[in-house]
Amino acid sequence: MTEENKLPKKNPAESILPIEDFEPEADLPPEDIEPVQEVSAVELQRQKHRLFEEWSQLSGVVMPRDIDIDKLNDQD
């Protein structure tokens, strides 16, 4: 065994390289952005309902049943 290999083991996650900086961000990258779609108010409302119904698949917590669709998020 070489002298270097007797050194205390360093966590590979703390490599000498700046690896931690370039994790590809999974946020919506520009190339994934499609042109804004024209959609009817009814369809948009239906989509919001569907989002609400399925949101618990992402959060892992059951959503309440007394839904006010216009308060889905603070922006909307």
Catalog residues that contact other proteins under the rule CB under 8 A.
2, 4-5, 7, 9-30, 32-34, 36-37, 39, 44, 47-48, 50-52, 54-61, 63-64, 67-68, 71-76
Q: How far is the CB of 70 from other proteins (least distance, A)?
A: 10
Q: Following CA atoms 26, 30, 33, 35 in sequence, which dihedral angle do they give, to the nearest 10 degrees?
A: 170
Q: Which is nearer to other proteins, 24 or 42 (CB)?
A: 24
Q: Which is nearer to other proteins, 12 or 42 (CB)?
A: 12
Rg of the chain taking only CA atoms, in angstroms: 23
Distance CA 10, CA 31 (A): 38
Q: How far is the CB of 42 from other proteins (least distance, A)?
A: 13
Say if CB 21 and CB 36 are below 8 A apart.
no
